[in-house]
Chains A and B, each alone.
Chain A
Amino acid sequence: MALLSVENVSVFFKRHLAGGDLQVVNSISFDVEAAEILGVVGESGCGKSVTAAAVMGILPQNAYYKGDILFEGQRLSTLSAEGLRALRGNRISMIFQEPMTSLNPVLTVGYQIAEVLMVHKGMSKAEAMARAAELLADVKIPSPTLRIKDYPHQMSGGMRQRVMIAMAIACNPALVLADEPTTALDVTIAAQVLSLLRGIQEKFNMSMVLITHDLGLVAENAQRIAIMYAGRLMESAETASLFKRPRHPYTVGLLNSIPKGRHIPLVPIPGFVPKPDNLPPGCKFSDRCSHVVKRCKEAEPPLIEIEKGHFNRCILNGGDGV
């Protein structure tokens, strides 16, 4: 049984308009196995962060989801607010993109880590602070016993993201959702933070959902990759299989958009990322696709398994020169 099963999840934002509520995620399904890293890749507005928020139960007030999210066999929609709170930060935790805005500026980092332990593990403050120092050492912050007394503003971006990681792993969670964990960091610091995260993930056998726009990042770290576009899953496969033979024109387009070296021509995807309230009919990528045929505009292709473990949502299915 998968650790996390997302089954036909759609996310909506409430609107008081004639068109009804705005759908930003359209019937997404994926599983995360134990000790696995799943990479979710997509551009801004594709619904990748909203999907994570739905799993975490932290959708904004004006949003709701339909479908099923099962964690360790438990249907999350059946849990009470109390039950969800017991899960969040304990069995499932999250690392956000912006370490400055996700830490409380008026509390010491030590206390913010200790709080997680006091709430979920019932530790006393002294015990929790001692454990917080150990956790800071785990995320390789030098002189942790001194640094627990620091406030977030006294730390650099890389340090703050390490603190976020320490908070996320404090209760030894089964699943960590990392939403663009290194996007706000410099390249060399990003590489450090990611190798740290990988080390911890392997050591504690955690599962991780790595949400990013960077294909290189998932190529290096994820076992499986899901490519999202316009709130849909376009292609998903084992990492090696996806990079060896990407089938969906969008995946191919993304790969061709990354500069690979001097004098190797760059082939961008034309057009721009559509807004969720203004999607084209049929295949949602059809207006930007260079392989588009008439059938693409008529009906949205289903996500089909074209090879074991390799799913694709395209009627051309990697043929016809895609």
Chain B
Amino acid sequence: MFEGFSSIILNIDFYAAIVRMSTPLLLGAIGSLMAERAGIVTFSMESMMLMGTVGGIIGSGLMNNAWAGVGLAIIFGVLIGLIYGIWAVSIGSHQIVTSVGLNLGSLGITSILYALTFMKGGEVVEEIIKVPTLPITKIPLLGDIPFIGPVFFNHYPLVYVGYLLVPMVWYILYKTTWGLKVRAVGEHPHAADTVGISVIKVRYQTLILSGAFSGLAGAFLSICMLGSFQENMTAGRGFIAYTAIVFGKWQPIGVALGTLLFGAADALQLRIQAMNENIPYQFLIMLPYVVTMIALISVVGRASWPAASGLPFKREEG
């Protein structure tokens, strides 16, 4: 067992796998961080990601081009973001409950969309549809550095989007006027309102971004890693991405580290499964979720979320 374990962690592929497994979490979590900072609970990421997976497959399959899949994944994600916005921002419904509704609903919708798209003569296809995938793209020069190269710079293009997203979101939040608005809206929407900021508009804008990047995360799962679709293919990654936001205390760097931690747990369990030890695979699949629970214990009491998190904004209450 120990030998097997050390063979895993001494293998360079393992580290590349951590980066790969972290990417969908990173895209979703960092992409949704702005909405979180604007005071919206993005528990809806699961449904946005799920819609992204099927969007990727449909776009890529119909157009026979993986990038078309990426585009449709983003559109589907944004669509969910806007629907969530109608309830969470405009109507002011309970955000967790609304998210649960979206998450469960999209479980069915994605399968239906998939089946309808690839129906043959009124019959649902039995065999797994394969669609074009994005190619692994090695970054010139950087990709040749020993260890660093294969671990970080020999990946699907969306991995690099994730890399860029972390400093970009940090910069936007702390170094732009819009980022300042976002933070103010999440901490004290009434203060933002009195200086003429449209709380509603800012929240919709962040939700569009949340949807777009969560959709991208879904596309990563379907048209980078597999090139095919399965029911519930996100398998709770949207929830884990949400946990990464909490774990990272709503700071871009912290959130990125959180996604790495959960990505590592995922990569590890896959490898232990492959080792064929006498551990039931169901136990191993639990690993990322167990890590999530343990990680949450360690941040209890110290997490400081945006003060207006989850609270709908209403003007006339003085």
* Chains A and B bind each other: no
Binding site for B on A (CB under 8 A): none
